[in-house]
């Protein structure tokens, strides 16, 4: 990912589940396919996860007959505290972003802070990304319930 000026989006969510359960939901293919990049009107048709630093993931959601691939490359995996990956959508392959997921234990459950950084030229996607991540984290909470 280039180091040009960055735009950041941050979303914070509390979960009733343990930090380990929340963290593992990002890397387990069976669980990932239930919530990450899945849409209510789409169908996840492909999930590949190689959960190691240097590994990658591909999640394909079929929307209105069109496949949308979400791809990432893992940069940091520190279970159950931190996950960092470069991320891009096949429709915008020249515009990767970096996603950091930080999980802090609470007396009951945990708090997750997700930050997505992308180039300033993609600023028009800032609010859409914030809303999208919020919906995905809601889906994660529902999956873990």
pLDDT score of 96: 85
- Residue with the larger pLDDT of the pair 138 and 90: 138
What's the pTM? Answer: 0.91
Cβ neighbors of 75 (< 8 A, separation 6 or more) are 53, 84, 85, 86, 98
pLDDT tens per residue across span 48-94: 999 999 999 999 999 888 998 999 999 999 999 999 999 998 876 67
The predicted pLDDT at position 100 comes to 98
Residue whose C-alpha is closest to residue 47's, from 72, 65, 21: 72
Task: Please state the domain extents for the chain.
Answer: 6-144
Does the pLDDT of residue 30 top 50, yes or no? Answer: yes
31: left (phi over 0), alpha (psi -120 to 50) or beta: alpha
Single out the residue of 138, 122, 111 nearest to residue 39, CA to CA: 138
Q: Is the pLDDT of residue 26 over 60?
A: yes
User: In which band, very low, low, confident or very high, does the pLDDT at 4 lie, cut at 50, 70 and 90?
Assistant: low
| Residue 19 vs residues 4, 52, 69, 91, 105: alpha-carbon distances, Å | 33, 18, 28, 33, 6
CATH tag for 6-144 (out of 3.30.530.20, 2.130.10.10, 3.40.50.1970, 3.40.50.150): 3.30.530.20
pLDDT band for 2, please (50, 70, 90 cuts). Answer: very low
Sequence-distant (6+) residues with CB within 8 A of 86 are 1, 72, 73, 75, 96, 97, 98, 99
pLDDT at 1: 46
Question: 43, exposed or middle or buried, with CB in 10 Å at 0-12, 13-18, 19+?
Answer: exposed
């Amino acid at each position: 990912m280039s180091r040009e000026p960055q735009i950041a989006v941050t979303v914070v969510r509390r979960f009733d589940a343990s930090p380990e359960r929340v963290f593992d939901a990002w890397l387990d293919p069976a669980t990932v396919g239930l919530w990450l990049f899945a849409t209510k009107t789409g169908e996840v048709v492909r999930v590949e996860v190689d959960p190691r630093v240097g590994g990658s993931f591909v999640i394909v959601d079929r929307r209105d007959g069109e496949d949308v691939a979400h791809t990432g490359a893992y940069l940091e995996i520190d279970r159950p505290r931190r996950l960092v990956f470069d991320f891009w959508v096949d429709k915008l392959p020249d515009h990767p972003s970096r996603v950091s997921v930080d999980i802090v234990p609470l007396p009951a459950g945990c708090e997750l802070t997700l930050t997505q950084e992308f180039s300033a030229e993609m600023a028009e996607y800032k609010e859409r990304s914030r809303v999208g991540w919020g919906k995905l984290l809601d889906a994660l909470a529902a999956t873990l319930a």
